[in-house]
Structure 1
Amino acid sequence: MNVTTIPHALTIAGSDPSGGAGIQADLKTFSALGAYGCAVLTGLTAQSTRGVSGVHGVPAGFVREQVETLVEDMRIDAAKIGMLGTAAVAEEVGDLVRRTLDCPVVLDPVMVSTAGSRLLDEDAIDAVRAMLPAADLITPNLPEAAVLLGLEPDEAATDLAAMHDQARRLLDLGAARVLVKGGHVRAEAGDRASRDTASRGTASRGTASRDTENGEVVDVLALPGGEVHELRGPRVRTANTHGTGCTLSSAIAALLPRRDGWLEAVSDARTWLTGALQHADRLSIGSGAGPVHHFYELW
């Protein structure tokens, strides 16, 4: 696309009344990064910084109607998919990705909130797994990667070698590109496939700010053809990490139309998210895990 054209970014996700995650975080991210944002709702939540007390799903047919009505009228340059909630919605959105959305798609396989609330029905996991080949990039955190691979919770990656292995296994399941987001993973010099020292940032729902032994967080980006990058960034000491996964995936979607490929878009999105985390304590939102500061460069 022409770099002077304002990109149109779509989020297909659930609502967060507290404004820190879901479509609220996505639309803030799109706006902060210079993209025009539009949104299709998959579900409503009763939610605050302290957790989720209820989820009310949108009927799958109405999710389809929202998407089809939108794309008949608007150009969509990139899309991000977040909370789907039910198997019926996941199946419907998967079909829309394959047949209707003619743009790059970032799939954030939202399963559990930061506070531990389940946001995806157990019987919807297979539908999300079936969507992997249709998406252009998936962005699971460590527990989500394990679930998608059919592993037990205690088999989630705990080191970089396992992150590399699970990223490649997700490629084998049909995913085009995989960003496995690390949290409690120690970065060992001898455990690196590559090091992208130009990349800065952090990401992962519920693990973005947690300590690693050497003060870094590391995400693993696996690309087609076996190319793997370790994307490293500084640890950010803040309790306000609500919505980091939503924010990262929407940042990638917002930046991709104006970047030279996925590696640059992911790296720049992580850099921006680091700043949003570093400024999160300025907001003082709620009494629980507050949001990142999406507009830290503007306010």
Structure 2
Amino acid sequence: MPIPPRVLTVAGSDSGGGAGIQADLKTMLALGAHGMSVLTAVTAQNSRGVQGAWPLPAEAVRAQFRSVVDDIGVQAVKTGMLASAELVETVAELLTGPGAQGVPVVVDPVGISKHGDALLAASALDAVRHKLLPAATVATPNLDEVAWLTGVRVTAETDLRRAADAILAFGPRWVIVKGGHLDGDAVDLLSDGTEEHWLRAPRHDNRHTHGTGCTLASAVAAELAKGSTVPQAVAAAKDYVTGAIAAGFPLGGGIGPVDHGWRFRG
């Protein structure tokens, strides 16, 4: 039997199932990849927010990574919630070590949740800038994360290029700055400093968008594992996420998730 592309997510758990490891694995399955996971933290989380978060020890993260990579191997890696400076440094070391060298890495520099809850210690900021981002094939910050990492505040589409350049200064090969919080169409800028791709999609009037960032980064990783170039992978991921947002559904009393299985329901 043919073996599907193998993609590893290194991220936290979302007990509500809309984001984190759960969203990553659903996305990878929907896009034809075999998802594997390294759990970095456990959260108590639902549609209303994050009620608690407990990082795992660095040795547990390292053991999970080595267990998967040394036996099964990976064709792409995606990182999400890393919680602490120690875990950021541990993961960055693993990404440049045996079994992962040359493998595409998608870094979602998760800092806060959809509800505004902190998911990364403030002390980890420098580690993300100087350890994790240089290991990235593609970084996928939203506008809040751009401001947090670089001080650049994006208020209009014309600011996206400046934001991309500021992230690229930390060393990722490519960055996609997600402009979803701007007015008008949902526009993102993919750049490597010389080549630019502007990705636009109609904005859907749907508040149930929990997990959007995790889903996009995982979709990019899945497409890279399938052999796509970065521009091809990001374009395909944008299309998938746009459909998932359009099909997002209510759960609980707060913000519901995007629908990772929307293509199966058409």
Normalising TM by the smaller chain, what interval?
A: over 0.9
Q: Which of 209, 225, 246 does residue 278 from structure 1 map onto?
A: 246
- Provide the aligned C-alpha RMSD in A: 1.3
Q: Distance in 2 between matches of 1:82 and 1:138?
A: 11
Report what 1:290 is aligned to.
Answer: 256
* CA displacement at 1:259 relative to structure 2: 4.5
Contact 2:7 2:225 in 1 (8 A): no
Report what 2:166 is aligned to.
Answer: 169
Q: Distance in 1 between matches of 2:264 and 2:19?
A: 19
Report what 2:30 is aligned to.
Answer: 32
Q: How does 1:142-157 map to 2 (within 5 A)?
A: 142-149=143-150, 151=151, 155-157=152-154
Q: Distance in 2 between matches of 1:51 and 1:25?
A: 16
Q: Does 1:266 align with 2:263?
A: no
* CA displacement at 1:38 relative to structure 2: 0.5
* CA displacement at 1:257 relative to structure 2: 2.5
Q: How big is each residue's C-alpha offset from its partner over 1:62-107, in whole Å with a ceiling of 9 and x where there is no partner?
A: 1011101111101201110000001110110010111132310000
Contact 2:211 2:257 in 1 (8 A): yes
* CA displacement at 1:239 relative to structure 2: 1.0
Contact 2:143 2:181 in 1 (8 A): no
Q: Distance in 1 between matches of 2:248 and 2:144?
A: 25
* CA displacement at 1:161 relative to structure 2: 2.2
Q: How big is each residue's C-alpha offset from its partner over 1:169-197, in whole Å with a ceiling of 9 and x where there is no partner?
A: 22122121100000243xxxxxxxxxxxx
Q: How big is each residue's C-alpha offset from its partner over 1:269-289, in whole Å with a ceiling of 9 and x where there is no partner?
A: 1101111111113xx322110
Q: How big is each residue's C-alpha offset from its partner over 1:184-227, in whole Å with a ceiling of 9 and x where there is no partner?
A: 43xxxxxxxxxxxxxxxxxxxxxxxxxx24xx111011125x11
SS at match of 1:85: coil
Contact 1:136 1:177 in 2 (8 A): yes
**Unmatched 5+ residue regions in structure 1?**
186-211
Contact 1:158 1:184 in 2 (8 A): no
Instruction: State the aligned residue count.
Output: 261
Report what 2:192 is aligned to.
Answer: 223
Q: Distance in 2 between matches of 1:169 and 1:49?
A: 33
* CA displacement at 1:135 relative to structure 2: 1.0
Contact 1:110 1:120 in 2 (8 A): yes
Q: Distance in 2 between matches of 1:122 and 1:34?
A: 36
Please give the TM-score of this superposition, normalised by the length of structure 2: 0.95
Identity %: 46
Contact 2:6 2:225 in 1 (8 A): no
Relative to structure 1, the CA distance from residue 230 to residue 287 in structure 2 (aligned partners, 3 Å threshold; closer, same or farther) is: same
Q: Distance in 2 between matches of 1:231 and 1:38?
A: 29
Report what 2:128 is aligned to.
Answer: 128
Q: Distance in 1 between matches of 2:47 and 2:135?
A: 33
Report what 2:43 is aligned to.
Answer: 45
Letter in 2 for 1:263: P
Please give the TM-score of this superposition, normalised by the length of structure 1: 0.84
Report what 1:11 is aligned to.
Answer: 9
Letter in 1 for 2:177: V
Report what 1:196 is aligned to.
Answer: none
Contact 2:12 2:40 in 1 (8 A): yes
Q: Does 1:73 align with 2:41?
A: no
Q: Distance in 2 between matches of 1:170 and 1:181?
A: 12
**Unmatched 5+ residue regions in structure 2?**
none
Q: Distance in 2 between matches of 1:125 and 1:38?
A: 26
